[in-house]
Chain A
Amino acid sequence: MKEGFRQSMAWLHSWAGLLVGWILFAVFLTGTAAYLRPEISYWMRPELALSRPGPADAEVAVKAMQGMAPNSPTWFITLPSERETTTRVFWREGGGRGRGRGFREAVLDPATGHPVEARETMGGEFFYRFHFQLHYMSVLWGRWIVSICAMFMLVAIVSGIITHRRIFADFFTFRPGKGQRSWLDGHNVCAVLALPYHLMITYTGLVLFMLMVMPWGIDRAYPGGRQAFNAEAFGSAPPRPRANTPAPLAPVLPLVEEAQRRWEGGRVGRIVVANPGDANATIQLVRADSERISYNPQSLTFDGPTGALIQDSGEGRPAAEVRGWMYGLHIGRFAGPFLRGLFLLSGLAGTVMVATGCVLWAVKMRQQAAKKGRVGFGTRLVEHLNIAAIAGLPLAMAAFLWANRLLPVGMEERAAWEVHVFFIIWGLCFVHPLFRRGRQAWVEQFAAGAAAFALLPALNALVTQRHLLATLAEGDIVRAGFDLGLLACAALLGVLAWKVARHQPATARARRPAPKAALMPAEAAE
């Protein structure tokens, strides 16, 4: 090898980062938004009133499921919590294995058990799902793509640490207004100061999909299938076959109380009922994931008809528990409001790190191009994609919220159309830089995003009763805070637009009297 170790690592870092940078940016930004999934969902269903979890929620939910899906082989019920004001259920459709696995879902009012009378929307669930399985493709494809991007990310992080020669000397160094130097500084500061988070989130993200990405060991050791593995690794009770003799389900409330007693006040978060209405039914109560870091849930499994305890699975064995910890750390549901704020901050740092990395690449290529005298197609492509991915995505996210407020409530496929609007706007952001080159495109997309976010609270006041003044008066902190957060997003994007617009590229001033193509915002070559 002619070059030094560090040079080859630098090469690896820039290519591993660039190739998947745009997807990583989207994954980071929507993943960061997913920390607020319940809050986003709550804001997107303005019809819902504030509610507090009550002791009868489980009973009501099970009754509702008996009405809605008596023949389903499995029900999954997620009970409301401090942050989640609805009961979310999904179930496997009964009878015959028709198309695919046939899952259906519903969002219920915890008090009545009826489907909520709210507009149809995916809510924060969309950002959450998009960040690990994308959209408009099979779930498996999306997960594979994101997993591969995460592997590149891990490579980029490790090679980046090796490449960064002055990691301690430049620990706090940020020198604004110095062109390429500033982009590198910004990239480094966001990367180094939140490094524990970046490593954690990337590595644990891969661990979440390890059974999908690397199934061979398990498939070899458990040729009979995953159930034997799951039973052994996670201590879940082995599934019981259907007896095909009907038997009513025992009341669930005493079981919930039993669980709370055993978990010393711990709350039941989820209920899984297998073969409801059958003599071999089981009811599994799973502890709420907000109470422990580890996502290996403690659970109790009861016999359906009698309510007798069959299995008490506590913490898993060491290997399973390590995975549970990593899982839990990644999704961060254990975090209280303050810690969630820290996660959010680090997530944003990661987003900025990816964005500055992509921009830095383009800035460097521009400089080389300036020496050679012509700008290659690759550089143009990267610049174009940077604009659409980095400035376009926030605009598309705002558009998603606009669609939530503007699409007619009774519309067919309403929830799907909210998502279509998101992608239509994002798609337009990919077209827009064809007509408005370089800096203008950056400014316009950032400014449009700022305006879209800034006007959302106003739109909210026009079309719903849940406007900022009302929510503040009611003490509905979540909705009021969300509106204020939208204004903060607007301010941030506004500052970015303003900074880019005001920026005077040094090269343009010095060497080119009338630049034909506008330059990157960063283009201030020394």
Chain B
Amino acid sequence: MIAFAAALSYAGFTALCLAMARHHEQVFRSRAVPAGRRRVLTALGWGLLALSVVPVVMELGWGLGLVLWLGLLTATAMPLAMLLNYAPRVALALAVTPVLTGIGLLL
């Protein structure tokens, strides 16, 4: 559950990043983000971030859950900020982890 939440928040941050010209360029080598794609990515990013709180609160309740969730946000955003510089493609690839951890949860 916690791994799923971490993956969701990481993917959310990645989507928000890709909606920004500077980080779009880091990953795709082109600074221009098409307007439609920007809107979708932004919405997706915020949506995934909002969604990531759900598994944590389901697992731990509101008090402990929110504390851990805020910690998760920090712990997933920091590696992303580093990866964007040093391994942008890896940063992008890791954004599929919600799918993997989600399947892991279902099995």
Contacts and interface: CB of A to CB of B under 8 A. Distances in A.
A187 to B, nearest CB: 13
B41 interface: no
A196 B74 CA distance: 9
Which of B17, B23, B67, B84 has the most A CB atoms < 10 Å from its CB? B67
A254 to B, nearest CB: 32
Given A196-B70, A196-B74, A338 B2 contact: yes
Contacts of A342: 68, 71-72, 74-75
B20 interface: yes
Contacts of A176: 85
Interface of A: 169, 171-176, 189, 193-194, 196-197, 293, 329, 334, 338-339, 342-343, 345-346, 349
A172 B73 CA distance: 13
Interface of B: 2, 13, 16-17, 20, 22-23, 63-64, 67-68, 70-75, 77-78, 80-82, 84-85
A349 B70 CA distance: 14
Which of A169, A174, A176, A193 has the most B CB atoms < 10 Å from its CB? A193
B11 to A, nearest CB: 14
Contact of A189 (B71, B75, B81): B81
Contact of B85 (A174, A346, A349): A174
Contacts of A343: 71
A343 B72 CA distance: 10
A472 B5 CA distance: 32
A293 B64 contact: yes
A329 B13 CA distance: 26
A193 B81 contact: yes
A349 B80 contact: no
Contacts, number: 59
B17 to A, nearest CB: 5
A349 B64 contact: no
A339 B68 contact: yes
Contacts of B73: 193, 196
A302 B71 CA distance: 40
Contacts of A169: 20
Given A293-B63, A334-B64, A172 B81 contact: yes
A172 B80 contact: yes
A294 B70 CA distance: 18
B63 A346 contact: no
25 contacts: A171-B16, A172-B13, A172-B17, A172-B23, A174-B85, A175-B85, A189-B78, A189-B81, A193-B73, A193-B77, A194-B74, A196-B73, A197-B71, A293-B67, A334-B64, A338-B68, A339-B64, A342-B71, A342-B72, A345-B74, A345-B75, A346-B71, A346-B74, A349-B74, A349-B78
Given A329-B67, A345-B74, 12 more contacts: A169-B20, A172-B80, A174-B81, A174-B84, A176-B85, A193-B78, A194-B74, A293-B64, A334-B64, A338-B68, A342-B68, A345-B75
Contacts of B67: 293, 329, 339
A174 B83 CA distance: 10
A339 B13 contact: no
Contacts of B13: 172
Contacts of A193: 73-74, 77-78, 81
A353 B23 CA distance: 23
Nearest to A192: B77
B74 A174 contact: no
A494 B12 CA distance: 34
Which of B22, B77, B81, B82 has the most A CB atoms < 10 Å from its CB? B81
Contacts of B17: 172
B76 to A, nearest CB: 9
Which of A172, A193, A194, A346 has the most B CB atoms < 10 Å from its CB? A172
In the complex, the 9 A-B pairs of residues with the closest C-beta atoms, listed nearest first: A342-B71, A172-B81, A196-B70, A194-B74, A193-B77, A174-B81, A339-B68, A189-B81, A193-B74
